[in-house]
């Protein structure tokens, strides 16, 4: 990769409607994850660990907290023209915002013209995974394709949930068709019970990508989407390849998390991805020191678990507790607590996710819930215990019974 100039583009303008109310006040890539991280940290960490040093983050929807996080967390030295830069919609082609992911690149072509890269890596900002893009870039160049799509194997029974890549049996590294959530998919030649699902990550020859988004921008019938319009245009002319994640060897990966990839586009999938973090042998291992996930380094004291004033023990089981948190005579189980969370005497937090500065007062019960930043659960109150009561109080409850409380809310005890 050293002989080729590589430029990274992170598409981070997503609104994330299915994650409401977590996206009511922030862009989807800025949603906290795993205690101290933001969703975008996974994409940026993968690019940085892969050797990319010129990366732009294209933002649009409620981007203030995302722009602030990128500027505070992802400051490179500036040596040798290294940077991670947040670039909001600039309206360079008229008084309009991005109308799709391909249009976001079209309106940001000045960034590509300035750097003149040979290869462009385009990734989404809202998936949880590890991947060495340098290996994908090498495979892309070797294949001779103009565009390469990263793909992960999924059971054929789940094909209708993904964009599915149909490969040519004679040329299994080439895409024959791109199928959006098919109901009658065909299994892989070497594994009939599996399909290749697009990960939303792409490698392009730079000139080919520029030409493609320019032509797409002239099409009034296009939705100007990378997966829905740009990739199919490469497929139609036989210029699109596929990169199976099984070929990717990330340093420090375990057999359990080697090919982990999670789309956290819904509240339930977001919650389930957190559960993947907290087992003794986690499905996704945050503690891989050979391929670290970087984030903001908080100037905070260590987490503390203490007895309360009456001597009752604080207990933490199968959980992640972030810096600055204090647990005093409370019980925490199968949960993730964000920075500066406070849980008081006799409180129970089970199967739940707490964002920054959440406060659970004495004797309160939190069960199977997501509490956004600065939520207060008052003494003796319950959340996630009674579905009907949670709905009556205006909280979101998913079909699976997960209760979600928006930023800054107060959960009061029943009268």
- pLDDT value for 228: 83
Q: Rounded to whole angstroms, how far apart are CA atoms 105 and 114?
A: 14
Q: Which residues contribute to the annotated binding site?
A: 163, 180-181, 198
Beta bridge partners of 343: 327, 360
- Domain 304-411 matching CATH 2.30.130.40: the answer reads no
Contact between residue 206 and residue 117 where contact means Cβ atoms under 8 Å apart: yes
Confidence of residue 40 (pLDDT cuts 50, 70, 90): very high
What integer best gives the mean pLDDT of the chain? 91
Region 36-65: what's the mean pLDDT? 93
- The domain made up of 6-275 has a fold known as Spore Coat Polysaccharide Biosynthesis Protein SpsA; Chain A (3.90.550)
Compute the Cα dihedral for 48, 1, 89, 19 and give only its sign. Answer: negative
Over residues 231-272, the pLDDT tens digits come to: 999 999 999 999 999 999 999 998 888 899 998 989 999 999
Query: For the chain, how many residues are written?
Result: 415
Q: Rounded to whole angstroms, how far apart are CA atoms 405 and 411?
A: 9
Q: Which two tokens stand for residue 207?
A: 């000139």
Contact between residue 355 and residue 349 where contact means Cβ atoms under 8 Å apart: no
Q: Out of 21-30, 60-69, 89-98, 177-186, give the one with best mean pLDDT.
A: 21-30
Give which of 20, 296, 303, 248 is closest to 129, Cα–Cα. 248
DSSP state, residue 28: G
Confidence of residue 33 (pLDDT cuts 50, 70, 90): very high
Contact between residue 97 and residue 90 where contact means Cβ atoms under 8 Å apart: no
Q: Which residues contribute to the annotated binding site for alpha-D-glucose 1-phosphate?
A: 163, 180-181, 198
**Residue whose structure tokens are 């590509």:** 112
Confidence of residue 79 (pLDDT cuts 50, 70, 90): low
DSSP state, residue 63: -
- pLDDT value for 94: 64
Beta strand segments in 13-125, E: 32-33, 37-38, 54-59, 83-88, 119-124
Region 188-203: what's the mean pLDDT? 91
Neighbours of 247 (CB within 10 A): 11
Alpha-carbon distances, residue 312 vs 50, 187, 303, 307, 377 (angstroms) = 48, 56, 18, 5, 20
pTM value? Answer: 0.92
Over residues 1-31, the pLDDT tens digits come to: 457 899 999 999 877 789 999 999 899 999 9
Confidence of residue 123 (pLDDT cuts 50, 70, 90): very high
Give which of 100, 415, 400 is closest to 227, Cα–Cα. 100
Q: Rounded to whole angstroms, how far apart are CA atoms 96 and 224?
A: 14
Domains of the chain, by residue range, sit at: 6-275, 304-411
- pLDDT value for 14: 76
Confidence of residue 147 (pLDDT cuts 50, 70, 90): very high
Region 125-129: what's the mean pLDDT? 92
Q: Residue 329 pLDDT > 70, yes or no?
A: yes
């Amino acid at each position: 990769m050293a002989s080729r100039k590589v430029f990274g583009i992170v598409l981070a303008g997503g609104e994330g409607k299915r994650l409401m109310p977590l996206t009511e006040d922030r862009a989807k890539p800025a949603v906290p994850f795993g205690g101290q991280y933001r969703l975008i940290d996974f994409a940026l960490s993968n690019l940085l660990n892969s050797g990319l040093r010129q990366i732009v983050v294209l933002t649009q929807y409620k981007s203030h907290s995302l722009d602030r996080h990128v500027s505070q967390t992802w400051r490179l030295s500036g040596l040798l023209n290294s940077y991670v830069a947040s670039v909001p919609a600039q309206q360079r082609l008229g008084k309009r915002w991005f109308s799709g992911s391909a249009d976001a690149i079209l309106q940001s072509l000045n960034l590509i013209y300035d750097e003149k890269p040979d290869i462009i890596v385009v990734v989404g900002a809202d998936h949880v995974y590890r991947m060495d893009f340098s290996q994908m870039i090498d495979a892309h160049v070797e294949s001779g394709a103009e565009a390469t799509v990263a793909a992960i194997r999924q059971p054929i029974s789940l094909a209708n949930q993904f964009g599915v890549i149909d490969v040519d049996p004679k040329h299994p590294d080439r895409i024959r068709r791109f199928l959006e959530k098919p109901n009658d998919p065909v299994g892989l030649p070497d594994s009939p019970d599996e399909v290749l699902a697009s990960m939303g990550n792409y490698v392009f020859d730079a000139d080919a990508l520029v030409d493609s988004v320019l032509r797409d921008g002239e099409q009034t019938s296009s939705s100007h989407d990378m997966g829905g319009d740009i990739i199919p245009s490469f497929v139609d002319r036989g210029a699109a390849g596929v990169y199976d994640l099984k070929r990717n060897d990330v340093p420090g990966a375990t057999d359990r998390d080697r090919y982990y990839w999670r789309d956290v586009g819904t509240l339930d999938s977001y919650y389930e991805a957190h559960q993947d973090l907290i087992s003794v042998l986690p499905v996704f291992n945050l503690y891989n020191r050979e391929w670290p996930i970087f984030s903001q380094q908080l100037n905070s004291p260590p987490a503390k678990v203490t007895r309360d004033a009456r001597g009752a023990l604080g207990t933490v089981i199968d959980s992640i507790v972030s810096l600055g948190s204090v647990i005093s005579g409370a019980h925490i189980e199968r949960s993730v607590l964000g920075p500066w969370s406070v849980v008081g005497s006799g409180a129970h937090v089970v199967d739940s996710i707490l964002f920054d500065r959440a406060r659970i007062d004495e004797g309160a019960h939190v069960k199977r819930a997501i509490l956004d930043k600065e939520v207060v659960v008052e003494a003796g109150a319950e959340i996630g215990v009674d579905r009907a009561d949670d709905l009556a109080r205006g909280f979101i409850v998913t079909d699976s019974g997960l209760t979600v409380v928006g930023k800054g809310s107060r959960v009061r005890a029943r009268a």
